[in-house]
Every structure is written in C-alpha cells, then in structure tokens.
C-alpha cells in the first residue's frame, strides 16, 4: 500500500428482511458484530462494521430490512435503511437468491421498486444474490441471473453465500471499486462504532429472538439499565430490561418457572463474556410497556430513529 492507492469509505448493505445482510457483515469481518436470526426485522438500526486491510478500509453500514412499513417502528426501520444509503459511497443490495430462483414474479415484485429508487440516487451499486448454497441445480442460478439482468439491465450481479463464503472475495473486489482514495477513516483495530453497551443489548435481543415464536420478538426491546465495571474482580455487572408491548407476551418471555428467561440470560451472558473478556454478571427484568412500537420518544431513547 502506498498512501496514494489506499481507499476508504462507507458501503451500505440494504435489502429485504432476512436476506442475509448481517450474516454477510459478520462473515467479512470475521467477528460477530450484528445479530442474526431466521426471523425478519432482526436488525433495527444502521450498525457499522469496519473491515481494514493493507489496501482499504470498508466501513459497512448494516441496515434494517426494507419492507412495506406499517406502524411507527417499521417506519423508523425503513428510514434508517434509506438514511444509510444517503451516507454511502456505494451500496450492495442483498437478496435471498434461494427465494427468487424459479420465481420471477416474486423477484419482479421485490426488485423493481428498489431498483427504481436506487437508480435515481446515482450511487455505485451491486446486487448480491445470497444463499446460493441453497440454489440447486446450478441451472436455477443461471435462470435467476437472467431474470435479474432482464429487470435491471447493466447492474452488477454477484452470486454469494454469506454462510459458506462463496463469492465473497469477488464481492469485496467490486466494493473496492466503489471506494474513494482516502486514508483510513478509523483506527485499524476498530471493528465498529457501536458501544459495547449497545452490542450487549443486541446480544440479549438475539437470544430472545431465537427462543420466541412468530411475531413475539418484534414486540421486544432491550435497554441496559446499569453497567458497572469492577476492575479488582475483573467483572462487569449488567442489568437490562426487556420491554414487551403486550401483557400476554410477558409470560411467554419469562417461560414456565422462569425457564425461558433463564436460558436467554445464560446464552447472552456467555456471549457478552466473549465480547468483554473477564467475568460478567447479567440480570434481566421483563416489563410491559404497552404500545412502545408506536411511541417515538421511547424508541429514540432506545437508539432507534432520530
Ligand atoms: N443457507 C443460507 N442461509 C443464510 C445465508 N446468509 C444468511 N442466512 C440465514 O438467513 C437468515 C437471516 O439472516 P440475517 O443475516 O439475519 O438477515 P438480514 O438480512 O440481516 O435480516 P434483517 O436484519 O431482518 O433485515 C439467518 O437464519 C441466516 O443464518 C446463506 O448464505 N445461506
Ligand atoms: Mg440484519
């Protein structure tokens, strides 16, 4: 690397919910920054993940899935995603390729409006067709590539699998093209601009997502109430509140004899321990806050929207 060839800039990862944006981010960072779940609307804010090499620094902006937004929380999510695009030097639109292979109608329904909007922004961009590990036989992938090219002539299409790593090097090379020549924007050992407090609250939310059925996780938010470091014991004491918007959900979060909450606590504590190093004491409380998904002030206090 010479100073004049170094590149650095912001790349927004956008796309429908569940496309694998956060999985991709974690894969190219080699560390888990963003939480992942099989349920849609997992990511709720634009989260940075910084990948620094000898040649370039890519500041990824992982974003909430773009979907038909009904209700205030959904609008906050979708606004956060489009907001990231405004800040970016380039965009990668993620699609779950396995969902669209052999289903040109669904592809058209989802891709056309995004292509129209992104086309007007004039930001350099590529489309990542993710989850190719699930597209078999390969002819189906060729069909999908042809369908995309017909809908969006000239766009750069990259088949990838965030899970197996297939195609990721190719995509990273394309992303480099989008970056301006610039010295690094962040220290080379910095992985994210998110605070460890925020990352801890996300880890708790992820464990709740994994244990809860259907629409339940959507009504859940996590707030860190207190965070105390005790250096002589190499210990961090964390207390967090889990909010749910419905009284009937509280029992499900807690589970029979507190079993579910206990499991969430154990899994989250283990992972937070990996993040912080040292010992972690984690205390979880569940509170009902009716209608929080419509309460703008409260959502802003949680770091959603602005
Ligand atoms: N088979 C397969 N599954 C994948 C791949 N990438 C992601 N997944 C799975 O897809 C699901 C959704 O992944 P996420 O990374 O949470 O998706 P997202 O686009 O960030 O979703 P939102 O945050 O809800 O917008 C998870 O169950 C992942 O394990 C892939 O390449 N192959
Ligand atoms: Mg996500």
The CATH number that applies at residue 267 is 3.30.300.20
Residues of the chain short of pLDDT 50, as ranges, are none
The CATH number that applies at residue 111 is 3.40.50.300
The closest ligand to the CA of 135 turns out to be: 1
* Number of domains making up the chain: 2
Residues 205 and 248 in one domain: yes
Over the stretch 58-106, which tens digit does the pLDDT of each residue have? 999 999 999 987 899 999 999 999 999 999 999 999 999 999 999 999 9
The pLDDT assigned to 3 comes to 67
The closest ligand to the CA of 24 turns out to be: 1
Q: What residue's CA is closest to ligand 1, atom 32? A: 131
Q: Are 23 and 60 in contact (CB under 8 A)?
A: no
Give the list of residues 6+ apart from residue 234 with CB closer than 8 angstroms, or none.
278, 279
> How many angstroms is it from 109 CA to the middle of ligand 2?
21
Give per-residue burial for 207-240: e unless 16+ CB within 10 Å, then b: bbbbbbeeebbbbbbbbbeeeeeeeeeeebebeb
Two structure tokens written together for 72? 């205030």
Instruction: State which residues form the domain around 278.
Output: 196-301
Which atom of ligand 1 is nearest the CA belonging to 19?
19
Residues 272 and 150 in one domain: no
The pLDDT assigned to 266 comes to 97
Q: Are 73 and 294 in contact (CB under 8 A)?
A: yes
Over the stretch 161-180, which tens digit does the pLDDT of each residue have? 999 999 999 999 999 999 99
Residues 143 and 283 in one domain: no
Task: Identify the domain boundary among 178, 208, 225.
Answer: 178
The pLDDT assigned to 61 comes to 97
The pLDDT assigned to 139 comes to 94
H or E element: which one contains 293? Answer: none
């Amino acid at each position: 690397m010479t100073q004049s060839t170094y590149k650095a800039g912001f790349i927004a990862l956008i796309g429908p919910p569940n496309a694998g944006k956060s999985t991709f981010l974690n894969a190219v960072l080699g560390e888990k920054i963003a939480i992942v779940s099989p349920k849609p609307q997992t990511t709720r804010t634009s989260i940075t993940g910084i990948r620094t090499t000898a040649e370039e620094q890519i500041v990824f902006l992982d974003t909430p899935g773009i979907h038909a937004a009904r209700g205030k929380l959904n609008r906050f999510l979708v606004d956060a995603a489009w907001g990231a695009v405004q800040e970016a030097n380039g965009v990668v639109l993620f699609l779950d390729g396995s969902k669209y292979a052999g289903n040109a109608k669904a592809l058209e329904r989802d891709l056309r409006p995004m292509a129209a909007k992104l086309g007007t922004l004039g930001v350099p961009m590529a489309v990542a067709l993710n989850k190719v590990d699930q597209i078999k036989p390969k002819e189906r992938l060729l069909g999908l590539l042809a369908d995309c090219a017909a809908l969006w002539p000239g766009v750069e299409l990259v088949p990838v699998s965030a899970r197996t790593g297939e195609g990721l090097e190719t995509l990273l090379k394309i992303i480099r093209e989008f970056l301006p020549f610039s010295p690094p924007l962040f220290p080379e050992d910095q992985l994210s601009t998110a605070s460890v407090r925020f990352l801890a609250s996300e880890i708790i939310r992820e464990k709740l997502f994994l244990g809860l059925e259907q629409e339940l996780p959507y009504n859940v938010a996590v707030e860190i109430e207190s965070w105390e470091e005790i250096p002589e014991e190499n210990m961090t004491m964390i207390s967090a509140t889990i909010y749910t918007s419905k009284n009937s959900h509280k029992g499900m979060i807690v589970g029979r004899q507190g079993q579910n909450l206990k499991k969430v606590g154990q899994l989250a504590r283990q992972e937070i321990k990996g993040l912080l190093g040292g010992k972690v004491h984690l205390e979880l409380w569940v509170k009902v806050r009716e209608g929080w998904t419509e309460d703008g002030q409260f959502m802003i206090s949680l770091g959603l929207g602005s």
